Amino acid sequence: MGKIAFVFPGQGSQKVGMGESLANQHVHIQKMFQKADEKLGYSLTDIMFNGPEEELTLTSNAQPALLAVSMAVLKRFEEEGVTPDFTAGHSLGEYSALAAAGAITYEEAVWAVHQRGNLMEEAVPAGQGAMAAVLGMEREVLEEVTMSVTQGGAVVAVANFNCPGQIVISGSKEGVEQAAALLKEKGAKRVIPLNVSGPFHSPLMEPAAEKLRAVLDKANIQSSRIPVVANVDAQPVTDAETIKENLVKQLYSPVLWEDSVQTMLDAGVDTFIEIGSGTVLSGLIKKINRRVRTFAISDEESIVKTVVALKEETE
């Protein structure tokens, strides 16, 4: 077997009830969620388990909730003795990847992403920004269209290079609508609005970036034990200062997910384990390279199945 990468989902993967069955089965997982509640000063767990969905989707709740679930699943999975050669996360998921690699503690990561969510909501009030997934369009055409719309006065930019044929745009509601219409004219198969509350990874997030730097200064980021492949340049990093700079830039820069996966493939990774809510990243990774093995773990049943499959591979 080749190398293993742990990958962590970002915003949009949240769903009411995530993490609840694991908490009900394991007291120490319950305590992890309680630590998140204590750190934040309100019951994030109640929103995660009971909703309503509109409240969970709010950036300031979705981000710590997704991180808490990923870290809880990771804690349970690590008890089975599986360790990664690399970690990586999609946008918000990069904080989970850093916590998994020892660059930041769980409690400080929960606090930092809650602050990050608040800053992102403040930067652009809900409803004024938008994001959309564009299917079946080349990178170059997308970059040309977003540039032309922005030159016309409405803000839109490429936000995520997810996999071949799936790229996300982000910006003002008007900018995304204009770009969507142009992209359909140029042959995009579909343009799908995303269930997020802000224009992430666009220039509209730049005002939040410097404020985020102040948050990260308080979060005691350290050099990581394991290389973390960064969203902003798709390169492995372990150095604390570089990690911090990358997180600041990440707020307004595109997420190079396809490139990040390719970096790990080139380094010998052949097994990707998605840790947390949903299976979005597993699907993207398969579209980048069909031959790799992917697992998605989110509860006791999926953890046990994955451990059995990994043991069979090594025997």
Long-range contacts (CB closer than 8 Å, 24 or more residues apart) made by 181-188: 182/145, 182/148, 182/149, 183/134, 183/137, 183/141, 183/142, 183/145, 186/137, 186/141, 186/145, 187/136, 187/137, 188/134, 188/135, 188/136, 188/137
For residue 34, give both structure tokens. 């309680």
Residues labelled catalytic: 91, 201
Cβ atoms of 258 and 280 within 8 Å: the answer is no
Structure confidence at residue 193 (pLDDT): 92
For residue 184, give both structure tokens. 């359909």
Question: What are the tens digits of pLDDT across the range 9-51?
Answer: 999 899 999 999 999 999 999 999 999 999 999 999 999 999 9
Dihedral sign from CA coordinates of 281, 156, 256, 63:
negative
Q: What amino acid occupies position 134?
A: V
- pTM (2 decimals)? 0.95
Question: What are the tens digits of pLDDT across the range 241-297?
Answer: 999 999 999 999 999 999 999 999 999 999 999 999 999 999 999 999 999 999 999
Q: Which domains does the chain have, with CATH numbers?
A: 3-123+204-314 (3.40.366.10), 129-196 (3.30.70.250)
